[in-house]
Structure 1
Amino acid sequence: MSNSSSLVSKHFYLTISVAVLCGLAAGILGEIVTRVYILQDFVAPYGNINLSDLGTNNPGLIIRDAKQVVVNQDLKVAETVNNVQPLLLGIFKEISAEEGDDIIGYYDLDSPLAVGLVITADGWVAAPTSPILSEAFKFKNYVVIANDHRLYKIDKMATSSDGVLLMHLAGTTSWSVKKIMTRADFVLGGTLIDVPGSNTVWPTTLSAWSRETSVLSSESLGAHLVLAGGDKGEFNNSFVFNLAGDLAAIVTDNGKIIPAFSYAPVWSTLSQLDSSGRPLLGVNYLDLSAVKIGTTTADKGNLLYASASQPAVKKNSPADIAGLEAGDIITWVNNQEVDATHDLANILAFYHAGDEVTITYKRDGVEKEVKITLGQLK
């Protein structure tokens, strides 16, 4: 009798346990089905809070112990600005000793007449030209003040094309300069930072590339950038960097945004360690990645082509002496292919006068090679 009662008791507890577990499972499954399929418009599913739909149909959301969130890009912008500030220099009209005795005889570091950027280790500074900084600029009447309040004299000047003035700081030989972005480093939509001075920053993005003409010169990159914003002249007379702190461009007084690699050939000759000069090949060309020529199926390479005022191959130039002709398509320079991101002028910008390069080209469908010693651009 007792064995029978014990067996019934075990069956009873087992049945109750199974019923409870099945009930819990059914309840959980039922709530999930109800939330997901029946009341999905009224109650947010597990782990999914729709902040934009908090209203009378939804319970209020209370956030306790809110923490400040700093976006990584904001930190990167601040880091970049801090890194470039030591190389941004204010240019001021020099105050004489007599003026310095007066109460107004001081330099307002927040209001320089112009701002320059150190571009070589031995103290060359680039600054966008302006009514003050022009070829008639009398540098002996001006001083340059760095971010650490050190004052420098200007001992010589040089002119650079495309709206930039170059000046040298006396007695400086150990500046740490920024890398210059190459054409391949730029990405449409990429984040850039425009810095007009040490106290102003304009985050922006690269919107487009533009060129003044379709026929290009091997001695001039001729590329301009288009940045988002700055329509009211906010970017004028400024410097543009990427988030790594590399120099991307200089914005001139008239708002033209010129990539820094356009200046690299000139700047490289400023250093006391390099006096070789800018390279000269002497051709004009069309970039086949940007234009379509009916007589060729090529979609890259540079087609030697005459402009309205210049021949395809300049007379007595290194290209002319080597036998290059109008209609030739240059496809390689040494081991660098000529394509959409590396055109002829961009590739040659990294060479010097006197360097020998091997140029691969096509003429009437036949691939040929020629060795050319680059001349010096006067």
Structure 2
Amino acid sequence: MKKSRRYTITAKGAAIILSFCITTSSALGFSGGMLVSSYAGKTGLEENTAANLFLTQQNEAYLTSASSGNATLSVAEVAALTANSVVEITTETVTTDSWMQQYVTNGAGSGVIVSSDGYIATNNHVIDGAGKISVRLKNGTVYEAKLIGTDGKTDVALLKINASGLTAAVLGDSDSLMVGQTAIAIGNPLGQLGGTVTEGIISALDRELVIDGKTMTLLQTDAAINPGNSGGGLFNDKGELIGIVVAKSSGSDVEGLGFAIPCNAAKAVIDELAAYGYVKGRVDAGMTFLDLTTAQKALLYGVRQLGVYIQKVDGGSNAEKAGFQAGDLITYLGDTKISSSAVLTQALEKYKVGDTVKITIVRNGNTKQLSMQLEEYRPD
């Protein structure tokens, strides 16, 4: 039989036990309150706040990754970081037909926010000739944009909208890229699918292409590119902008050939456009040229010989003063034989503003050599 024992608690012992109980109860109550508060806070977040929290977490992940140097992000993380930096662009252009009737044509493309106060980079061909340019942000807000400057040679244009606090793209270093690295394109394919994200790799560096008579050095990627992507962003796996999407090779048997202007080259042009509205130091021949490469084209313009013709001479230009006329066939610039407008453009780029060039032409069957001083290109 087990005997029961009695214990006597002194006043001092009772005080110690009471104190312990109070302390323990307070601690548990505080912890429980914090836990309940935390749970209530998480379950009671509104949708917008939850989205902002997610983006904050992704930005923290990006900063951690960027500081570590070699760490990378998933495509989903890159998309979350950069989605607000890419915009949709729509344009309206007034065109006059052969019956002197005017009608409005619409165009669409993409753009990349390059500063939080509303500067947006895109392609020159996206906005070329547009009478009205509209920009739609990721959140659906639409602004009318002002054209700050454009450069036809690099196909870069700079727009400005009246907005602040925007999410600007983080600039990467296109000179440090390697073939095989991840490339993520974000843009507005077909002009209707804004915010589309496609993934691929850098397929080639320093790819030289002739686009609209201009020789351009571009990045090549197999990320899906479609009409409407032009002017959008090409990002690496750190969420950094590495290029401005510019073109896709088209054809029924062509897939996986997209191209972008390297960000380092684009930045230099954007800085010039922001400061002056054009790129200083570009030579201007003061003439518009036309490639006649087929007999059908030559017949259409009433000439017999194929080649590069002067389509228009700018009024008041050095070319007009030197005696050049529309319809002249250009055969040589200096010692360079001219077979296309691309060859002519490349030959002109070897000269500086103020240099005098000799150009050989054929007019009415007669060969002439005219000299002119090259001017600086300044857009109207």
TM superposition score normalised by structure 1: 0.42
> Which has a greater percent of strand?
2
Q: Rg bigger for which structure?
A: 1
> Which has a greater percent of helix?
2
TM superposition score normalised by structure 2: 0.42
